[in-house]
Amino acid sequence: MVEYVSLYRAPTTVADAAGIAAWLDDRIDATVEQRERFLDRYRDEDLPREFAEARVVSPDERETGNTMLGVVRYEERVLDRPERAGGVLYDGFALQEALARRLPDEERSLDRLHVALVDRVLGTWGADGRWHKRVAVLGPLALVSVPGLYEAPARPEAYYREKGKHALLSGDTPPREVLENEVEGAFLVEDDPRTTDALEGYVLQAVHYLETGEAFCATEGCRLFDAHRQDALIEAQLDDPEFCPTHAERYG
């Protein structure tokens, strides 16, 4: 049974860790505390290289890592200036393992969950031989990717049609902001004011997984549902009711 949850804030996003912690505290029988950014609290001299080793180099190649000096220096800079991070996909399980090693022994008990809100895009290797972006990588140290909230679930078909039309006419892909303004659809964008509300369910998923071994709910519309499309994510995380009947008994 989870008795303590430590939620680590992300520094460069609109995600309000205090708001998420308060929402979670109302729904679980555990002590919930907010902490400073995980990468500030447990950073050491080896961390930039481990980020470089976890970099995905190709969407359809399982092997990861680029530890050239320039790449490691880049990782050093974005640890200091996280607002400069972006455009890189990381192996979520490799990062999870690397960061979990930094937890002190006294905080590795089975009744304690750590949830780090991170400003990196995480991926996992799929059975189809490709990397797939994820919002959350679950475990005793769960990683919840704030940019993954915007990038991992697929956007409406109209978004991709408009993107293809621009590319056909101009030979280039228009800036993302242009497409977001032109396409009417239900999807989250960078720095969306709904970010905090949407992340609440993913943090609860981390608690639920550690307590029950059940990663996600199969019912669309439940906050424990693993949405692969933006419209399904919004239905699950932002629309009522919050939970399916089964999980409403536990968390409602």
Q: Model confidence over 201-245: pLDDT tens digits?
A: 999 999 999 999 998 999 999 999 999 999 999 999 999 999 999
Q: Are 131 and 124 in contact (CB under 8 A)?
A: yes
Measured between alpha carbons, how far is residue 43 from residues 102, 121, 133 in Å? 8, 19, 24
SS3 (DSSP) at 181: helix
According to DSSP, the β-strands at 136-137 and 141-145 are: antiparallel
Segment 15-70, tens digit of pLDDT: 999 999 999 999 999 999 999 999 999 999 999 999 999 999 999 999 999 999 99
Over range 91-96, report the average pLDDT: 98
Q: How far is CA 178 from the centre of its chain?
A: 24
Give Cα separations from 117 to 79, 224, 245 (angstroms): 14, 17, 28
> What residues have CB less than 8 Å from 138, skipping those under 6 apart?
205, 206, 209, 210, 215
SS3 state of residue 225: strand
User: What integer pLDDT is reported at residue 163 of this predicted model?
Assistant: 55
Longest dimension (CA), the chain: 59
Task: Return the amino acid letter for 119.
Answer: D
- Rounded average pLDDT over 167-174: 53
Determine what percent of the chain is predicted with pLDDT higher than 90.
79
- On whether the CB atoms of residues 198 and 190 are closer than 8 A, the answer is no
* Residue 175 C-alpha from the chain's centroid: 23
pLDDT of residue 49: 97
Peptide bond connecting 104 to the previous residue in cis, omega within 30 degrees of 0:
no
Placement of tokens 């895009």 in the chain: 121
* Beta-bridge partner residues of 8: 35, 116
Triad 10, 40, 69: Cα angle to 5°? 105
Beta-ladder partners of 176: none
**Strand ranges for the chain from DSSP E:** 4-8, 31-35, 89-91, 112-118, 121-125, 131-134, 136-137, 141-145
Spatial CA neighbour of 209 closest among 71, 28, 59: 28
- Per-residue b/e over 101-115, b at no fewer than 16 CB within 10 Å? ebbeeeeeeeebbbb
| pLDDT (0 to 100) of residue 82 | 87
Q: What does the pLDDT look like over 126-144, one tens digit per residue?
A: 999 999 999 999 999 999 9
What does pLDDT average to over the chain?
A: 90
**Top-confidence residue, 198 or 160:** 198
Which stretches of 84-199 are assigned E, i.e. beta strand?
Answer: 89-91, 112-118, 121-125, 131-134, 136-137, 141-145
Domain ranges of the chain: 4-251
Query: Which pLDDT does position 178 carry in this prediction?
Result: 47
Name the CATH superfamily for 4-251: Collagenase (Catalytic Domain) (3.40.390.10)
Asked if pLDDT for residue 182 goes beyond 80, the answer is no
